[in-house]
Amino acid sequence: MMEPVIRIDGSGADPCAGIVRIDWPKAIWNGTMIAGTVAALAVATWQAVLMFLVLTYGTLLVGHSVGMHRMMIHRTFRAKPWVARALIYVGTLVGVSGPSGIIRIHDTRDWAQRKAECHDFFAHRAGFWQDLAWNLFSRFEFVRPPRITIEPAISADPFYRFLDVTWRWQQAPLALTLYWAGGWPFVLWGICARVFVSTAGHWSVTYFCHRPDLGTSPGRWLVKDAGIQASNLPGLGLVTYGECWHNNHHAFPESARIGLEPGQVDPGWWVIAALERLDLVTAVGKPRGPDAREDLLERESA
């Protein structure tokens, strides 16, 4: 298993002090995707909707869950260079951000949630519609922000730097292909509806998995000193690529497998296990042993 990368320095930073502001490039991008989704409903065909379902599921599973989240952010496995680039490229096509942007979004939120207190922007306490609006249109402006340093393997790689600069434009080649295959219905469903549903869907897992008051399963583990604890969403493993077992993930971010308990379906793990059998990935991480869990408490009822 690879050692985790420490990218964030929170010394002197305050996870509570700051203000939520409109992020205009983000707001315009997601607003355009929403408008395109509304237009897609007017020109829906069964072929376009089927393509949307397959493309959305495939890009989120392979690109975001496996490539960006488990490999790039948490380094739970090592892939051959061409495999890693392919996975992160597919993750970029999800349409949320480029590689460095995804790391900054994830690591900042994770840092804030592991503090004793954090702003509602990170704690998801603002309510469903407010939190969704923040996720789609806004950013958090810290009074004293943490410092994030992305490792050179990402920040100095010409391909990943190119994706960071052009991530929105990466939809264009796909849009041309979709237009050739099925005209405007394919473009609207394959680009606009897919990006909007992917962004909102990714947010929804994050929202519900950090709101135990909404009836989610608390899971087996408590992370010591963390103000925000993660929950699980039973029964949703297949449609969330295994990301719904979020309590496990907070406890064992080093593990490539997130669905750790019997019956916890984890399609992301299926993909990683298949890549390992093909000798395309190595150093696949497992949960650390009982002698290295001093940061965890196990619930008595588990």
CA distance 111 to 106: 9
pLDDT (average), residues 99-107: 96
CA 3 to chain centre: 21
Three-state DSSP state, 14: coil
Q: What is the pLDDT of residues 113-146, one digit of tens each?
A: 999 999 999 999 998 999 999 999 999 999 999 9
CA distance 112 to 142: 11
Per-residue pLDDT for 214 more than 80?
no
Cα–Cα distances in angstroms (integers) from residue 82 to residues 30, 78, 79, 281, in the given order: 30, 11, 8, 11
| Paired residues of 217 in beta bridges | 232
Per-residue pLDDT for 3 more than 70?
no
CA distance 258 to 233: 12
Q: What is the pLDDT of residues 150-173, one digit of tens each?
A: 999 999 999 999 999 999 999 999
pLDDT for 301: 59
Which DSSP symbol is given to 2? P
Helix (H) / strand (E) element for 138: namely strand 138-142
Per-residue pLDDT for 290 more than 80?
yes
Cα torsion at 24, 26, 31, 33 (round to 10°)?
150
**Domain range annotation of the chain:** 20-142+152-298
pLDDT above 90 covers what percent of the chain? Answer: 93
Binning pLDDT at 50, 70 and 90, where does residue 4 land? low
CA 300 to chain centre: 30
CA distance 21 to 176: 34
Q: What is the pLDDT of residues 63-74, one digit of tens each?
A: 999 999 999 999
pLDDT for 5: 72
pLDDT (average), residues 196-203: 96
For every residue of 62-111, DSSP letters joined together read IIIIIIIIIIIIT--SEE-HHHHHHHHHHHHHTSS--HHHHHHHHHHHHH
Compute and round to an integer the Cα radius of gyration of the chain.
19
Residues 6 or more apart whose Cβ sits within 8 Å of residue 167: 92, 95, 97, 98, 101
Cα torsion at 245, 246, 249, 255 (round to 10°)?
30
Can you read off the two tokens belonging to residue 132?
A: 């969704």
pTM of the predicted protein model? 0.94
Mean pLDDT of the chain, nearest integer: 95
Looking at residue 63, its amino acid is G
Q: What is the pLDDT of residues 236-283, one digit of tens each?
A: 999 999 999 999 999 999 999 999 999 999 999 999 999 999 999 999
Binning pLDDT at 50, 70 and 90, where does residue 297 land? very high
pLDDT for 217: 87
pLDDT for 130: 96
pLDDT for 171: 98
